[in-house]
Chains A and B, each alone.
Chain A
Amino acid sequence: MAKINKISAFIAFTKALESGKDETVKEMKSILGDMIDQEIRQDEPYTEYVMERTQKKLFMI
């Protein structure tokens, strides 16, 4: 998803919240959740790298 579309989707979500349309909010949450999943999956290699470092740091405590 393009950057602009992502932020626009969040803005649409806020407007849905303001309007009190529960069904729309629920649907948008699902869409945004899938979008987040997809994006963080792309960062897996970086996550693995940082995690390894963090874990080392934690076990040193």
Chain B
Amino acid sequence: MEYIVFILLGLTMAGFEALLLIRFSKNLIANTIGILGGIGALLAIWDYSYRILMIKDLRIQTFGCFVFSFGLGFCILLWLFSKIFIKSLDDKYSLRMSDILLGNVKALENHTNNRQKQIDAELNYHELYELKESNEKQFEELTETKSYLLEKEKDMLHLKKYLDENLSKTVCLELPLNYKYPVTINYLNNMESYIKAFVKFDNYIFDTTEQFIENQNENSDRDLQIFLKTYLNFLCLSTSKILFGYHEGVRTHVRYLKDGYYETIACCVGEIKSDKDLTKIPLKKGMIDKSNVSKQSLIKSCNLEYHYSAQNDHVWKDYITIPIIEIEKKHMPLLSIGISIKYPGIHSDILKFLNFIKIETVYSKNICKINKYYDILKIISEGV
């Protein structure tokens, strides 16, 4: 009976020691302390059991049973546990409950590393990391650009303040909308020719409009579409000739409202040709809409924020938009006249002069006179 007790004790202790070793801790000191502690506990348990059972004659025999069963059990159990637990390390991704309970550090570390590699591969970690680096670089660049732009904005505000101060001391033309155009010596020198041309233009358009009406009344069987187109071509041609001397750097055109867009109906470019390939301007966009709201002609360079980008912006650098607000279609002007210039250095001053002197009144009063006799909206609705 005593032998069996010591054999069981030895086997139990062997089980504990084998489990202790199988933890695979990397810490050598902890492993050594654990083993030494185990041996100390072994001897203490044997001694304690021996005293409790009060066996006096079988000291060596029971100790032998205890040590033998411990040694044999330890070897068998260590081999058995190694087979069970160490084999599991080959499995890359699975982590078993026993690994956690036994604190199988190597298995846990191995599992963690493998899982990390697997997740990295699935999420394409390296690419994401590179992207992150690139984003950080871009962010730094943008931050630098932002601070540069802020500095520039500061400079521009200073410059604007300086210009405003100097403009207040200079003679300026007040052009719509809230734009001050400084009057230069060159402008003053040319003003006489501008006024002369404008007066001639006004007078000529007025007389010829009367003649157009008279002529159409005498030839009432003439196609009204041809009549209207001719009149609008006459306006473009006269503008180009009288105000700009048929300069090839000036384009005069008339647009009409059709299906939500302003399309070309008449156009004149200097003496050479008549360009029909003008950008369609959508309703409620661009300068036509803004000039309709403000009820006056507007110049692009004075109102850049309202400009609608067109396909020939690189050719025609500036223009004036003149809406004929008296004849409406869907609360928008049916007709809009435009004068575009290629060379602002040559024609910028006269464009500003025409805006200042309200050239829209010349076009409006004459077109309205035509409209009084011949309904322009009706003529256009019937197709031009």
The answer to whether A29 touches B226, judged by C-beta atoms less than 8 angstroms apart, is: no
Check: B212 CB closer than 8 A to any chain A CB: yes
Q: Known contacts A13-B230, A14-B229, A40-B242; is A58 also within 8 Å of B271 by CB? A: no
Partner of A7, one of B198, B211, B274: B211
Given the complex of chains A and B, what is the CA–CA distance between A36 and B207 in angstroms?
12
The answer to whether A54 touches B198, judged by C-beta atoms less than 8 angstroms apart, is: yes
Residues of B within 8 A of A58 (CB): 191, 195
The answer to whether A46 touches B234, judged by C-beta atoms less than 8 angstroms apart, is: no
Which residues of B (208-259) have their CB < 8 Å from a CB of A? 208, 211-212, 214-215, 218, 222, 226-227, 229-231, 233-234, 237-238, 241-242, 246
Which residue of chain A has the shortest Cβ distance to B276 in the bound complex? A17
Partner of B200, one of A6, A8, A17, A40: A40
Which residue of chain B has the shortest Cβ distance to A18 in the bound complex? B229
Query: How many of chain A's residues touch chain B, expressed as a range?
Result: 20 to 34
Which residues of B (173-222) have their CB < 8 Å from a CB of A? 191-192, 195-196, 198-200, 202-204, 208, 211-212, 214-215, 218, 222
The answer to whether A25 touches B274, judged by C-beta atoms less than 8 angstroms apart, is: yes
Residues of A within 8 A of B26 (CB): none
State the Cβ distance, B274 to closest chain A Cβ, in Å: 6
State the Cβ distance, B270 to closest chain A Cβ, in Å: 8
Which residue of chain B has the shortest Cβ distance to A25 in the bound complex? B274
Check: B60 CB closer than 8 A to any chain A CB: no
**Chain A positions 15 through 35: 1 when the CB is less than 8 Å from some CB of chain B, otherwise 0:** 101100010011001101100
Partner of A30, one of B208, B242, B271: B271
Given the complex of chains A and B, what is the CA–CA distance between A10 and B229 in angstroms?
10
Residues of A within 8 A of B229 (CB): 14, 18
Q: Is the interface of B mostly helix, strand, loop or mixed?
A: helix
Partner of B204, one of A13, A43, A55: A43
The answer to whether A47 touches B200, judged by C-beta atoms less than 8 angstroms apart, is: yes
State the Cβ distance, A11 to closest chain B Cβ, in Å: 5
The answer to whether A4 touches B215, judged by C-beta atoms less than 8 angstroms apart, is: yes
**Chain A positions 29 through 61: 1 when the CB is less than 8 Å from some CB of chain B, otherwise 0:** 110110011011001001100110011001000
Q: Known contacts A33-B271, A36-B241; is A55 also within 8 Å of B195 by CB? A: yes
Chain A residues engaging chain B, CB cutoff 8 angstroms: 3-4, 6-8, 10-11, 13-15, 17-18, 22, 25-26, 29-30, 32-33, 36-37, 39-40, 43, 46-47, 50-51, 54-55, 58
23 chain-A/chain-B pairs, Cβ below 8 angstroms: A7-B215, A8-B215, A11-B226, A11-B227, A13-B230, A13-B237, A14-B230, A22-B273, A25-B273, A26-B273, A29-B246, A33-B237, A36-B237, A36-B238, A36-B241, A36-B242, A37-B241, A43-B200, A46-B203, A50-B199, A50-B202, A50-B203, A58-B195
Chain B residues engaging chain A, CB cutoff 8 angstroms: 191-192, 195-196, 198-200, 202-204, 208, 211-212, 214-215, 218, 222, 226-227, 229-231, 233-234, 237-238, 241-242, 246, 268, 271-274
Known: A30-B271, A40-B203. 7 other contacts (CB 8 A): A13-B230, A13-B233, A36-B237, A46-B203, A47-B203, A50-B203, A51-B195
